[in-house]
Structure 1
Amino acid sequence: MTIHIGAAPGDIAPTVLMPGDPLRARWAAETFLDAPRCVTEVRGMLGYTGTWRGHPVTVQGSGMGMPSLSIYASELIREYGVTTLIRIGSCGAMQPHVALRDVILAMTASSIGTPSSTILREVNFAPCADWGLLQAAAAAAQDQGVTPHVGGIWSTDTFYDERPDLTDQLTRHGTLAVEMEAAELYTLAARHKARALAVLTVSDHLQTGQALPGDQRETGFAAMVEIALAAAFPG
Structure 2
Amino acid sequence: MQSTSPLQPMHMNLSTQDLQGNGRLGRYVLLPGSDGRAEAIAQRLQNVKVQSHSRRHNFYMGTWQDIEIGVMSSGMGCPSMDIIATELLHLGARRIIRVGTAGSLQPQRLRIGSLVVPTAAVRDEGTSRHYLDPSVPVQASLEFLDAVRRAAREQKLEGRVHLGITHTKDSLYAREFGEGPMQAEHSRYMQHLQAAGVLASEMECAQLFTLTQVWNQKLLQTEKDRPSVRSGAILAVIGDDQPFADGEEVKLTIERAIDLGFATIATWFKNEDRPWL
TM-score by length of 2: 0.79
Q: Deviations over 1:158-179 (max 9, x none)?
A: 1103311111000000000000
C-alpha separation in 1, matches of 2:14 and 2:31: 16
Unaligned regions of 5+ residues in structure 2, if any? 1-7, 21-25, 179-185, 217-228, 271-277
Residues 11 and 53 in structure 2, CA contact (< 8 A), matched pair in contact too:
no
1:197 matched residue in structure 2: 232
Equivalent AA in structure 1 for residue 40 of structure 2 = W
Residues 104 and 199 in structure 1, CA contact (< 8 A), matched pair in contact too:
yes
Pick the aligned partner of 1:76 from 66, 88, 105.
Answer: 88
C-alpha separation in 1, matches of 2:45 and 2:82: 25
Deviation at 1:215, TM superposition (A): 4.2
Q: Deviations over 1:125-153 (max 9, x none)?
A: 10101011111101101111112100000
C-alpha separation in 2, matches of 1:36 and 1:220: 25
C-alpha separation in 1, matches of 2:65 and 2:172: 36
Say what the alpha-carbon RMSD is for the aligned residues: 1.6
Deviation at 1:63, TM superposition (A): 0.4
Deviation at 1:112, TM superposition (A): 2.3
Identity %: 27
Residues 103 and 243 in structure 2, CA contact (< 8 A), matched pair in contact too:
no
Deviates more, 1:46-55 or 1:148-157: 46-55
Unaligned regions of 5+ residues in structure 1, if any? none
Report whether the alignment pairs 1:7 with 2:40: no
2:258 matched residue in structure 1: 225
Give the total of aligned pairs. Answer: 230
1:87 matched residue in structure 2: 98
Deviation at 1:114, TM superposition (A): 3.6
C-alpha separation in 2, matches of 1:41 and 1:214: 28
TM-score by length of 1: 0.92
C-alpha separation in 2, matches of 1:137 and 1:218: 21
Higher radius of gyration, 1 or 2: 2
C-alpha separation in 1, matches of 2:51 and 2:19: 8
1:101 matched residue in structure 2: 113
Pick the aligned partner of 2:194 from 168, 171, 179.
Answer: 171
Residues 50 and 56 in structure 1, CA contact (< 8 A), matched pair in contact too:
yes
Equivalent AA in structure 1 for residue 254 of structure 2 = F
C-alpha separation in 2, matches of 1:140 and 1:114: 33
2:72 matched residue in structure 1: 60
Deviation at 1:108, TM superposition (A): 0.6
C-alpha separation in 2, matches of 1:212 and 1:142: 26
Residue aligned with 1:166, SS: helix
